[in-house]
Amino acid sequence: MMNEQRLKNELSRLWAKTKNNDEAEWHPLILHMLDVAAVAGFVWEHNLADGLRKRLVSSFPANNVKSLITFLAGAHDIGKASPEF
């Protein structure tokens, strides 16, 4: 079983943001992706113009375009999980 410090070290490899290039202060990639998805869902519900929402719904063959949009927004930084990053 992985100890807490080792887990923290492993997870720190999957970072999304740092504060002023300070490696001690970082935001985990998974939390960043969830934050962005939540904001996209909020924008869909509260800020997106009805006309644009209807256009998006008619443009995608998905049953739930809001879910698709929030997924795509959340997944926008998935490349940061690659070893090359």
The one-digit pLDDT tens for each residue of the chain (85 residues) are: 567 877 666 666 666 666 666 566 777 888 889 999 999 999 999 999 999 999 999 999 888 999 999 999 999 988 888 777 7
d(CA 55, CA 73): 18
List, as own/partner pairs, every contact residues 77-83 make where C-beta atoms lie below 8 angstroms and the sequence separation is at least 24, other chains included.
77/16, 77/29, 77/32, 77/33, 77/36, 78/33, 80/14, 80/15, 80/16, 80/29, 81/14, 81/29
Number of domains in the chain: 1
d(CA 36, CA 52): 20
Q: Which domain holds residue 62?
A: 4-81
pTM of the model: 0.72
